[in-house]
Each structure stands twice: as C-alpha cells, then as structure tokens.
Amino acid sequence: MPKRRISRMFWESSIPNVLADDAALQASSAAVQPMDDEAFAAFYERSARPLWAYLARTSGDPALAEDIMQESYVRFLCLVNPPSYLADGEVACRRYLFKIASNLLRDHWRRPRATSIEDMAENLFACADEQRSSDSQMILGPALASMRPRDRQLLWLAHAEGYSHREIAEITGLATASIRLLLFRARRKIARLLEASDAGREA
Amino acid sequence: MIFRPCPREAEVNALVERGQWPQACAPDLRNHVNTCRSCSELALVTASFQSARNQAVSAAKLGSPGLLWWRAQLRRRSAAVERISKPILSAQIFALAVNLVVAAAVAVWQARHGVAWLTWLEQLPRNIGSQGFTNLLPPDLFSARSGSMISPLVLISALAAVALVGGVVVYFASEKQ
C-alpha cells in the first residue's frame, strides 16, 4: 500500500466514520477536497505565519488572530469550489486564504463589542508583551492602532505582504481603482504618524 | 489631497522589499527619495511594515495542521449529513401533514355521522378484568349491521394515525435532544 494512502487512512480513522458505507458521501467529500493532507500540511507550514502576522497586526489581538486563522483554514478546506492546489498554484490558494481571513476579520469588527469583562481578551490586561517590546512594534503599533481597520488591512497587504492592487482588490472585495486611492491616502496618513513618532522619540 | 504617484515608486518598493534599502541603493535614487515625498513615504512605510512582518512571523506560534484537517473533515461530514437529511426531513413533514389531514377528515366525518361508537369508552371500566379483550371492543365492532362495518375501520385508521403522529413527535423530540 502506498505511503500516501496510509497517511490518509490515519486521518480518516480518527473520525467517527458513521457514514463509511455511503459511497456517494465519500465521493462528494473527495470531490470538494482542495488538497490532500500532506499537501495541506506543507501549505500550512508556509502560509500560516504570514497569515497570523497579518491578522495579529491588523486586529491588534493575537488570540483573535489565532482563532480567525484556524477558522480560515477549516473554511478553506471545506470550500465547495476551492482553488486547485495543482492547477492554480499555492499563490492562488494563499490569496484565497487571505480573502477568507479578511472576511472573518471584517465580520468580527461588524459584530457588537463585548461589554462583559469575561468576554475581553486576556492580553488586554497584560502589562507588557514581547511583541510590544520590539522597536518596530513600538513605533508601528500605535500608528496602526490609530488607523481605520480597512486601512490597516490595505497597508499590511500592500507593504508587508507585497500584494498588487489587483490582488488586494481580490482579497478585500473592493474595486482596483478604489484600492489605489485608498492606499495612497492610508500610506500618507501612516507616514505622518510614523514621522511624528520618530520625531517624538528623538526629542 | 492630490493623488500623484511617482514613476520610481516600483523601484524603491522593490529595493525595500529585498532589504537593500538604503545601503545597496544607487546614489541617484537615494537623492530622488530624499526629494520626492511620495517615494520617501513609501520607503518609510514599507520598511516599517517589512520589519513588523518579520518580527510577527517569527513570533507566531502555530498549532497542528492535523487538528485543522480533522476539524475540516468533521465539518464536511456534518454538512454532508445535513444535505442528506434535508429530503428525509421533508418526507417526514409531508407524512405528518398527511396524517393530520387524515385525522382531521376522520374527526369531521365522525362528527357528521355521530359519535356513538365512543360509548364503549364509557363501559370500559366495567369490562376491564371481567371478560377478556374481546369485550373491551365495541359490541358492534364486527357486526354486519348496516353502516357499522365502517366505524371499526375508521377507528383503526384513526388509532394508526394517532400512533404515527405520536411516533413522529417522539422522533422530533429525541432529535432535538
């Protein structure tokens, strides 16, 4: 038996296989699968860190970033019409993943804010964490926090991930022409904040 | 605000992304960046974001991809089960509706023809324990008098309908639990 088949059986056997005899279900499940488990593990290793960085820096909440990242991967694997890993390539898969994560983050922002203290993230009460102690985060963090959520996303995708305007439009669902102008304004605003922060530190 | 991108932005951006800014930059481009507001902003912002990205990427603590794969498998199976269950649920609702219609029709029909066969219910306490099961049934249940053969059939149909409805109700209750 080939090695690939064995590993697939390992994952499958960890699930209560209540519908193992249902051939139609097995076939439909295989049809919607965007990639096999080995390819997914490799894809995850390469894409999870940038995705987490994007979510953590644009949301400002590492715990939320972790949750949204996991949900994004699960949704990506459950897509009915996923981008083909072989035909479209890893770049397309990664772009789609960022799109899912952006939508989840936007949904989170649209939800009403939690008022109960039990619902608030623990890191909000932390004195200092290691991310805030880094120089770049000390400068960029406050500047990013004063930007609008959509601007944070645009700036990160353009300047941290290096996506083109067309790709950002695909991820965020905005028009390419709008991206150009929104990004220009956001960049100008954050550049002013960074310069002011630099000047403050020097003074 | 005037939207005026500089034609050398792509050049500056590529240098910053490759980590070659400003050390490995040509002097003319460096002079240009010093004088061009758009390019200086681009260099500052891109360098800040690249640095923040590198630090965030190294700080990321990743979970197991196997766990995500497993969760996705579970969710796909749940979705498939739900897809399959939809027609079954529709059939159950249809059956319930048919039963209710039949029960209503029986009730209406009995109301129009009188409810004499219900009198055996009044005699039920006296019959219990004295003469056996056959005496629990209405006296004219199997008699050949005119019109009396319909009542038992209707009675059995009604009881069957009640049993079916009861079964469906119990099924839905257990499904919710």
Could you tell me what percent of chain B has a pLDDT over 70?
71
Please indicate whether, in this complex, the C-beta atoms of B70 and A11 are within 8 angstroms of each other.
yes
The residue in chain A having the minimum alpha-carbon distance to the alpha carbon of residue B5 is: A184
Nearest Cα of chain A lies from the Cα of B95 at a distance, in angstroms, of 25
Tell whether A180 lies on the interface with B, counting CB pairs under 8 A: yes
Distance CA A65, CA A62 (A): 5
Nearest Cα of chain B lies from the Cα of A119 at a distance, in angstroms, of 23
Nearest of A102, A80, A99 to residue A91 by alpha carbon: A99
A195 neighbourhood in chain B, CB within 8 Å: 44
Q: What pLDDT shows up at residue B131? A: 60
Give the model confidence (pLDDT) of B101-157 as tens digits: 888 887 777 766 666 666 665 566 666 656 655 555 555 555 545 455 556 667 777
N- to C-terminal Cα distance for chain A?
69
Cα-atom radius of gyration of chain B, to the nearest Å?
41
Could you tell me what percent of chain B has a pLDDT over 90?
10
Nearest to B65 among A41, A136, A160 (CB): A41
B50 neighbourhood in chain A, CB within 8 Å: 159-160
Predicted ipTM? 0.72
Contact B142, B152 (CB under 8 A): yes
Contact B110, B102 (CB under 8 A): no
B65 neighbourhood in chain A, CB within 8 Å: 40-41, 44-45, 48, 73
Position with higher pLDDT, A131 vs B35: B35
Distance CA A135, CA B52 (A): 9
Please indicate whether, in this complex, the C-beta atoms of B50 and A44 are within 8 angstroms of each other.
no
Mean pLDDT score of chain A: 77
Nearest of A183, A182, A196 to residue A140 by alpha carbon: A196
In sequence order, what are the residues at sequence separation of 6 or more whose Cβ sits closer than 8 angstroms to the Cβ of residue B26?
Answer: none
Nearest to B49 among A77, A159, A195 (CB): A159
Torsion of CA A130, A132, A138, A143, to 10 degrees: 150
Q: How many CB pairs under 8 A join A and B?
A: 131
Is the link from the previous residue into A62 a cis peptide, with omega within 30 of 0? no
Tell whether A94 lies on the interface with B, counting CB pairs under 8 A: no
What is the SS3 string spanning chain B?
A: CCCCCCCCHHHHHHHHHCCCCCCCCCHHHHHHHHHCHHHHHHHHHHHHHHHHHHHHHHHCCCCCHHHHHHHHHHHHHHHHHHHHHHHHHHHHHHHHHHHHHHHHHHHHHHHHHCCHHHHHHHHHHHHCCCCCHHHHCCCCCCCCCCCCCHHHHHHHHHHHHHHHHHHHHHHHHHHHC
Q: Where are the domains of chain A?
A: 33-111, 131-203
Tell whether A53 lies on the interface with B, counting CB pairs under 8 A: yes
Tell whether A39 lies on the interface with B, counting CB pairs under 8 A: no
What's the token pair of residue B113?
Answer: 């023809």
Position with higher pLDDT, B135 vs B39: B39
User: A131-203: what CATH class?
Assistant: mainly alpha
Please indicate whether, in this complex, the C-beta atoms of A11 and B69 are within 8 angstroms of each other.
yes
- Greatest Cα-to-Cα distance within chain A, rounded to the nearest angstrom: 73
Nearest to A134 among B17, B55, B65 (CB): B55
Please indicate whether, in this complex, the C-beta atoms of A191 and B84 are within 8 angstroms of each other.
no
Position with higher pLDDT, A165 vs B4: A165
For residue B110, the number of C-alpha atoms closer than 13 Å in the C-beta half-sphere is 17
Please identify which residue in the block is written with the tokens 């089960």.
B81
The residue in chain B having the minimum alpha-carbon distance to the alpha carbon of residue A158 is: B46
Please indicate whether, in this complex, the C-beta atoms of B45 and A136 are within 8 angstroms of each other.
no
Nearest Cα of chain A lies from the Cα of B169 at a distance, in angstroms, of 25
- Best mutation target among B2, B68, B78, B83 (most A Cβ atoms within 10 Å) is B68
The residue in chain B having the minimum alpha-carbon distance to the alpha carbon of residue A17 is: B77
The length of chain B is 177
Nearest of A196, A200, A63, A52 to residue A126 by alpha carbon: A63
What's the token pair of residue B165?
Answer: 């409805």
Flag residues of chain A having pLDDT under 70.
1-34, 85-86, 113-137, 201-203
